[in-house]
Amino acid sequence: MGMNSTEVAYGFGQMGSVYATTGNVKPPKGMVIVSITSLADATYFSTLTDERAGVVQGIDVSAASHDLSGADEANSATANEGEGGVVFGSQKLTTGVSIYGRWTAVTAAAGSYIAYFGL
């Protein structure tokens, strides 16, 4: 008999969600936004605040994720972080596209989306 893993469930959005258009969305206390699904073509974000201050692990509009080459060799791809990410910038998501990360705040500049919460 299988075991229901709350660790997996709580990490992938089963803790609730919010429908949003433009404006700032923040998760409930103790949670993060783990996934964003676009509901309209040309959805794009002006803010995607990574959970870890100073380290960008998920898609970000102001910094390159997992791009520590040269900046922090101790945490390069062979250590704690990857390399080669680029800034997401003003790229637009089309309907049905999902992105994953761990954000503490999200602001859409245009479009509509669903943000899913996790621990």
Q: What pLDDT is stored for residue 67 in this prediction? A: 63
Residue 4 forms part of a structural domain? no
Residue 51 forms part of a structural domain? yes
In whole angstroms, what is the distance from residue 21 CA to residue 82 CA?
32
Number of domains the chain contains: 1
Instruction: At 25, list the tokens.
Output: 């969305």
Q: What secondary structure letter does DSSP report for 15? A: T
- Whole-model pTM: value is 0.75
Each residue's pLDDT tens digit, 19-30: 999 889 999 999
Each residue's pLDDT tens digit, 54-65: 666 667 777 776
Residue 112 forms part of a structural domain? yes
* Average pLDDT value for the chain: 78
